[in-house]
Amino acid sequence: MKLFHLTIAGLGAILAGCTHQANDAAEPVPEAQQAAAPPPQAASGPAFERVGRDTPRHDASGAAATRALAVCSGLWSAGQSMQVIDATYPAPEPLEAFPAEIDEQRKIVSVGYDDVMPPRIAAWRPVLGCLQLPAGATADALDGYLLFSDGSLTPNFDNETWPMGDQDAVASLSSEVEARLGALVEQAFDGETYKGNSWAVLVVKNGKIVAEQYSDGYGMHIGGQTHSAAKSFAASVVGLGVRSYDVDVYAGKVLEQWSRPGDPRGEITVDHLIRMSSGLYTEGNGSPLMDVYRQGGTVAGRAASNILDQPPGTRFLYSPPDTQLMLRAIHEAVGDDQTYLELPFRELFWKIGMTRTVPATDWAGDYLMSGQTYSTARDFARFGLLYLNDGVWNGERILPDGWTDYVSKPGAAQPERGGNGYGGHFWLYGGQDGLPDQVYAAAGGQGQYIVIVPSEDLVVVRRGWDAGRNGFEIRKFTADVIAALTE
């Protein structure tokens, strides 16, 4: 039997794209994954082997699934080349000996890991992007999953004027200001001035792009992983629920399976979830997150089964499953699977020209948006403009009145370290490193940022592939951009 053992280092390498740290955003670092304890000893005889989630097959399955999804999403959701994909999501040992099998015609990626189990599969779907099939599923299962109704395709707004499209997007600056800003943007790519490894920087002032630069392999229509910046997209979907489906963020019993008499999780509200204060147990970046991200666990079946660890509303704990459960609450409020599946596209992304933003679902149709989303720098800028304009786009209210104020204000429970505050799935940067008050941001691992500066009518977007603690200094960069734009 061909069963491959993944070292901790090797598994960590392939999971780099699944972590949720935004280094300079000072997101709390999830508790480090503790080294596995020695197996218990039997009363006599040798130690018995643990069987379960820590077996080599389980880890290899997760690594294969991560690779399949990265290749599928990179190729067909983000428009990346294999060169870019391999540079950013390398296959660690032993998977480098088993390359992804790419079916261009059916848009399916398969990565084998074991002689007994079928390969892990990710399959692209029109509009919805790549779906990671659960462990054990074959491509034959694809016929059973939801698709966008009536054969709809993603609209093309490229020839419309900015910000809905890409035409007439750039504003001219005075030669002096342009020189100052241009020098800053160059420094954002040098890896030293602000640290990190940038692949895109974009600055929007007074509604127009005043700076935009990409590294090789990227461009205005080529995207990348948002990581946790997608959490702010998820907060916006909650806003849609408030606007159109009478969701009360302060009401309890948000999930049907938490509504049984005597279930203490019935006290958890959407407000608790959006502020990362649900009180649910978490193992850092471990269970239940990775079971949903890598093994085919569903939000309803795995994340929602989590147990209470702290009274709701009393502790801030950065937990991606809170995002998934918050969206599950909106799913249940909408009531219809097909309507919910299409909601983020029809009522948010396409309304504001974000046609190259693709969030993943689990195989049962629940959005993740704790990560697992691909988007371009220009779509990031459009999202920032929506919030800069109080949730209104071209005169149409997309988000409820008062929503931007709600998500940009701190909750009762706040991070104990890092300096940044936390609102409703947005980080709060106001008053730090020379920034004005009321600055808030979507932030994700490896340096994905949408910084919103209302007092300056400014959005700063930065995308990157930062490694470890050498994170991009986004607050410092934003403050320097503000200074450079001052006549």
Q: Which two tokens stand for residue 110?
A: 């398969």
Which pLDDT band, with edges at 50, 70 and 90, does 16 fall under? very low
**Helices 230-244, 337-344: crossing angle, 10 deg rounding:** 130
Q: What is the pLDDT of residue 18?
A: 41
Q: What is the pLDDT of residue 282?
A: 80
Give me the mean pLDDT over the 24-41 stretch.
36
Domain boundaries, the chain: 8-34+48-147, 224-485
Q: What is the pLDDT of residue 73?
A: 96
Give me the mean pLDDT over the 359-375 stretch.
93
In the predicted model, what is the mean pLDDT of the chain? 88
Residue-wise pLDDT tens digits, 146-180: 888 877 789 999 999 999 999 999 999 999 999 99
Residues shown for the chain: 487
Q: Please check the confidence at residue 448 and state whether its pLDDT lies above 80.
A: yes
> Residue 349 carries which side chain, given as an amino acid letter?
F
CB 385 within 8 A of CB 403: no
CB 268 within 8 A of CB 254: yes
Q: What is the pLDDT of residue 156?
A: 97
Q: What is the pLDDT of residue 17?
A: 41
Residue-wise pLDDT tens digits, 197-227: 999 999 999 999 999 999 999 999 999 999 9
Q: What is the pLDDT of residue 28?
A: 39
Largest separation between any pair of C-alpha atoms in the chain = 81
Q: Please check the confidence at residue 91 and state whether its pLDDT lies above 80.
A: no
Q: What is the pLDDT of residue 284?
A: 57
Q: What is the SS3 assignment for 464?
A: strand
Q: Which CATH number fits domain 224-485: 3.30.360.10, 3.30.479.10, 3.40.710.10, 3.20.20.70?
A: 3.40.710.10
Q: What is the pLDDT of residue 285?
A: 53
Residue-wise pLDDT tens digits, 301-338: 888 888 999 999 999 999 999 999 999 999 999 999 99
Nearest C-alpha neighbor of 224 from the set 61, 50, 74, 390: 74
Q: Rounded to an integer, what distance in angstroms lies between the CA atom of residue 111 and that of residue 123?
A: 12
Q: What is the pLDDT of residue 38?
A: 36
Which pLDDT band, with edges at 50, 70 and 90, does 30 fall under? very low
CB 409 within 8 A of CB 396: no
Higher pLDDT, 291 or 450: 450
Give me the mean pLDDT over the 223-247 stretch.
98
Q: Please check the confidence at residue 367 and state whether its pLDDT lies above 80.
A: yes
Higher pLDDT, 50 or 157: 157
Q: Please check the confidence at residue 270 and state whether its pLDDT lies above 50.
A: yes
Residue in the structure block whose two tokens are 């800069």: 388
Q: What is the pLDDT of residue 58?
A: 83
Residue-wise pLDDT tens digits, 434-446: 999 999 999 999 9
Q: Please check the confidence at residue 53 and state whether its pLDDT lies above 60.
A: no
Q: Please check the confidence at residue 425 and state whether its pLDDT lies above 80.
A: yes
Q: What is the pLDDT of residue 10?
A: 42
Which pLDDT band, with edges at 50, 70 and 90, does 464 fall under? very high
What angle (nearest 5°) sits at the alpha carbon of residue 323, between those of residues 319 and 329?
A: 135
How many angstroms separate the Cα of 481 from the Cα of each of 183, 194, 215, 374, 453?
A: 10, 12, 19, 26, 11
Q: Rounded to an integer, what distance in angstroms lies between the CA atom of residue 299 and that of residue 102?
A: 28
Q: Rounded to an integer, what distance in angstroms lies between the CA atom of residue 185 and that of residue 481?
A: 9
Which pLDDT band, with edges at 50, 70 and 90, does 43 fall under? very low
Q: What percentage of the chain reaches a pLDDT higher than 90?
A: 72
Q: What is the pLDDT of residue 139?
A: 93
Q: What percentage of the chain reaches a pLDDT higher than 70?
A: 86
Q: Please check the confidence at residue 78 and state whether its pLDDT lies above 80.
A: yes
Nearest C-alpha neighbor of 89 from the set 27, 30, 176, 15: 15
